[in-house]
Amino acid sequence: MRLGFMQPYFLPYPGYFAVIAQTDQWVVFDDAQMIRHGWVDRNRVLHPTEGWSYIKVPTAKHSRRSPIAAVQASRNVDWRDRMLRQLAHYRAAPNFAPVLAWLTEALATCPDGLAALNVHMLQRTCDWLGLAFHPVLHSSLDYDRSTVAGPGDWAPTVAGLLGATTYLNPTGGAALFDPARFAQVGCVLRFVQWPAQPYPQLRPEFQPGLSILDMMLMLDASAIRDALLAAPQLEPAHLAAPS
């Protein structure tokens, strides 16, 4: 069984979905601590004139030590309509009308809890792209968390608990993990490399690192799905080797 285990990001970049596309089970790290200025409550789209700008889910007041699952989206601002208005400059994109209709409905039906909201949006995005998505909340798993000694131990511990044979992670997290720790639980560590290969955008110069929304607005779902499934898996030694 191929396992992925990440915090629930808000409409994340395509590389996040490349990992989902190649896994059989997805554990949502919903009880991780909420980090300010991270990707749990925001992501990036093209700015109307140059560069990029954030789309953001404003949150209700919460402790800085709150887990993601305890954080709520704000009910005091009409952030859904504001977010939709932020995408108006994409009107020349090939898929603007269907994607905006999809996003309008998805946002209208999402829950207020931030973790649940993000899982809802991940599920709806996977449905659009034709990807299987089988999320399990980490908070629902029953095991002794005191056995986790450091940040790099969460994934191998959960992999062993669920009987995973392969653990997949984006290449950006390579420094966090020890392949030997996964081997101890009978699991192989692999990294999915998203190549950030340029695709058509509404700009002459490609802007990488944007939300999956940008790609959805420009490309058909089948083309995106093929690209996600084709993202290569690298062994840790290969990833660490000098170019």
Res. 238: pLDDT tops 80: no
Instruction: State the chain's mean pLDDT as an integer.
Output: 94
Q: What is the mean pLDDT of residues 162-191?
A: 96
Do the bridges between strand 52-56 and strand 188-192 make them parallel or antiparallel, or are there none, so unpaired? unpaired
Other Cβ atoms less than 10 A from the Cβ of 121: the count is 21
Q: Give the lowest-confidence range in 22-31, 70-79, 234-243.
A: 234-243
* Separation CA 21–CA 12 (nearest Å): 14
- pTM value? 0.95
Give the tens place of pLDDT for each residue, 78-117.
999 999 999 999 999 999 999 999 999 999 999 999 999 9
Quote the domain boundaries for residue 141.
2-240
Q: What pLDDT is recorded for position 105?
A: 97
Q: Domain tally for the chain?
A: 1
| Per-residue pLDDT at 240 | 55
187's CB contacts (< 8 A; 6+ apart) are 3, 156, 159, 160, 164, 165, 166, 167
Instruction: Decide: 169 and 177 in contact? Cβ < 8 Å.
Output: yes
**What is the rounded distance in angstroms from the CA atom of residue 69 to the CA atom of residue 35?**
12
Cβ-based burial of 96 (10 A; exposed 0-12, middle 13-18, buried ≥19): middle
